[in-house]
Amino acid sequence: MTNIFKMMKDAVSAQKNLKKIQEELKGQVVEYSAAGGKINVKAGGDASIIAIKIDPSLIAPAKGNELESQLVRAVNGALDEAKKKSAECMQELMGKMGLPNIPGL
């Protein structure tokens, strides 16, 4: 029975740590640039888009398709950076809990 109580206590502790990490991630910002630095996207560590800056030279009507594809690339890049930051924090939490390193978490 003692092991069950320890497991329950560890689970509660892990849940608290997870919530703490999620809050910390909200405050972190990652950036990604595309189109040679003409598009810059900032994302929160919680995978929310904070800001998008576009160089005015890309906003010409003739460059609409290029702008759209570069913007998608930049947003996806920023979200990938946010996911990496989140994964790093989760791995750190798992390490503190003595759990094995599981790829993809």
pLDDT digits (tens, 9 = 90+) for 44-77: 887 888 889 988 888 887 777 888 888 888 888 8
Residue 104 falls inside a structural domain: no
Whether 105 maps to a domain, the answer reads no
pLDDT band at 14 (very low <50, low <70, confident <90, very high): confident
3-class secondary structure, 44: strand
Residue 103 domain-assigned?
A: no
Could you tell me the pLDDT band of residue 99, with boundaries at 50, 70 and 90?
low
- For the domain that residue 34 is a member of, what is the CATH number? 3.30.1310.10
Which conformational region is residue 94 in: left (phi greater than 0), alpha (psi within -120 to 50 degrees), or beta? alpha
Alpha carbon distance 7, 12 (integer Å): 9
Is residue 20 a part of any domain in this protein?
A: yes
Residue 49 DSSP code? E
Task: Evaluate whether residue 70 is within a structural domain.
Answer: yes
Number of domains composing the chain: 1
Contact 93, 25 (CB under 8 A): no
Q: Using the predicted structure, report yes or no on whether residue 80 has a pLDDT greater than 60.
A: yes
DSSP 8-class letter at 47? S
Residue 81 has pLDDT above 70, yes or no: yes
SS3 content of the chain, % helix, strand, coil (to 5): 60, 15, 20
Q: Is position 101 within any domain?
A: no
**Structural domain of residue 18, as residue ranges?**
2-96
Cβ distance 44 to 82 under 8 Å?
yes
Within-domain flag for 102:
no
